[in-house]
Amino acid sequence: QWTAVAAFLYGEIGVILVLCLPFISPLRWQKIFMFPLWSKMAVFWNKMFLTIIVLLIILFLDAVREVRKYSSVHVNEKAANVNSSAFDHIQMKLFRSQRNLYLSGFSLFLWLVLRRTVTLLTQLAKEMASHAALETQVNDATEAAKKYMAENERLQEALSGKGDSKKKESTDATEEKLKEEIERLKAELQKTSNAFHKAKTEGAAVKKQSEGLRREYEHLMKEFEQLQQRLNKAEDKKDL
């Protein structure tokens, strides 16, 4: 079972490293997550997540129990000055229980980190898509406003030399209508611009949170390497 836990831990590390690759954008990850295969598995995702969490917690508690058990036995046997073979056997059991504790603990932690990373990538991809849509809408509204203003200028130039009162009234009505349309477009442009800035701010917050998660993951990897080096040194001492 601990071999399976170790394989699961290394698999988690590999998946998180792939998710953190800088040249794969969140939009690309969202397309990958939208495959029909994942949508079929989504029904069982929560159940699988809770099942793995429960199993890892059970294994973690079992490892804690083993560490406490062999730590107390280790101290008692050392104080009793028994033969070296029994003492080495207890020390080996203690080392294995500590190794199992590290495996189960890091597996549990990385499983939570993995789910959080996927959630943040999905949210960031949605914000980027919304940002692109709002930018397109702002550009369209700006082009429409420029078009109406150009038409207004052409009408003013065409009717500037005519003094007929009816035509002036018709021109004034047309100008009023165009002004109202321009005001409406300006209000829509302002609303779209506000929504664009809001989406940009939210995207920056999600990006900042993602950077914090990346730094936390790098710190975790450094601690894991240090623990691995300690385990290797303990094995070397045992071999000696």
pTM: 0.50
Confidence of residue 108 (pLDDT cuts 50, 70, 90): confident
How many CB atoms within 10 Å of residue 158? 10
How confident is the model at residue 39, as a pLDDT? Answer: 63
How far is residue 203's CA from residue 48's CA, in Å, rounded to a whole number? 30
> pLDDT tens for residues 176-192?
887 888 788 788 778 87
Top-confidence residue, 52 or 232: 52
Q: Is the pLDDT of residue 38 over 70?
A: no
Poorest-confidence range of 29-33, 62-66, 105-109, 160-164? 160-164
Confidence of residue 35 (pLDDT cuts 50, 70, 90): low
Two structure tokens written together for 99:
């190794």
How confident is the model at residue 163, as a pLDDT? Answer: 47
Query: CA of 99: how far to CAs of 63, 71, 96, 110, 143, in Å?
Result: 9, 13, 5, 16, 65
Please enumerate in sequence order all residues whose Cβ is within 8 A of that of 152, keeping only pairs 6 or more positions apart, or say none: 175, 178, 182
Q: Using a pLDDT cut of 90, give the percent of the chain over it.
A: 0
Average pLDDT over residues 160-186: 68
Residue whose token pair is 């936390």: 216
Average pLDDT over residues 190-207: 75
How far is residue 160's CA from residue 150's CA, in Å, rounded to a whole number? 15
Q: How far is CA 217 from the centre of its chain?
A: 12
How confident is the model at residue 135, as a pLDDT? Answer: 81
Average pLDDT over residues 185-201: 77
How confident is the model at residue 157, as a pLDDT? Answer: 74
How confident is the model at residue 81, as a pLDDT? Answer: 56
> pLDDT tens for residues 44-91?
777 777 888 888 888 888 888 888 887 776 555 554 555 667 777 777
Q: What is the mean pLDDT of the chain?
A: 77
